Homo-oligomer: A and B are copies of this chain.
Amino acid sequence: MATTKRNLADKAHTRDGPRHQAENLSQTRREHATEIAEDYVEAIAYLSASMGEARVVDLARRLGVTHVTVNRTVARLQRDGYVTTQPYRAIFLTERGRKLAEESRERHETVVAFLRSIGVPERVAELDAEGIEHHVSPETLNVFRRILSHPQKI
């Protein structure tokens, strides 16, 4: 009748349910997988708009990585249908890439605006938003939007 190690495991099962926790973490890992794609297409869209085209060096500067990393990642983005490129040429978004870029930009701006609206200083809001944005679900984003459209001090 001794309390064995494996008995203990069974109890905890009912207590909290590790299922939920595992699902939450799996979801977070999935979001990480798309995170770089989102930041890249956002940067490509920005550079294309502000200076006519997106070149590897400009991307590297803006993203804070070497041109080698940009090169390989762009190849992956092309493989996944977000961009088109040719050797020694600029990078262009596909329709799919443009769509993701636009969604990402809008969400990014909403997160920054929301943080600002509750009193987070601009620099901090921009810094935190860069990571937070990728983990904000459509539901939560809608809550942010609703609060932003409700101009009342907190």
Contacts and interface: CB of A to CB of B under 8 A. Distances in A.
Given A9-B51, A61-B22, A115 B128 contact: no
A81 B57 CA distance: 38
A131 B120 contact: no
Contacts of A61: 18, 22
Contact of A126 (B22, B24, B147, B150): B24
Contacts of A137: 124, 127-128
A131 B25 CA distance: 8
Which of A11, A139, A147, A150 has the largest count of B CB atoms less than 10 A from its CB? A139
A24 B140 contact: no
A18 B62 contact: yes
Interface string A104-139: 000000000001001111001111101110111101
A152 B152 CA distance: 12
A71 interface: no
Interface residues of A, number: 59
A58 B12 contact: yes
Contacts of A132: 132, 135-136
Interface in A12-39: 12, 15-16, 18, 20-28, 31-32, 39
B136 A128 contact: yes
Given A26-B64, A130-B28, A51 B8 contact: yes
A120 B147 contact: no
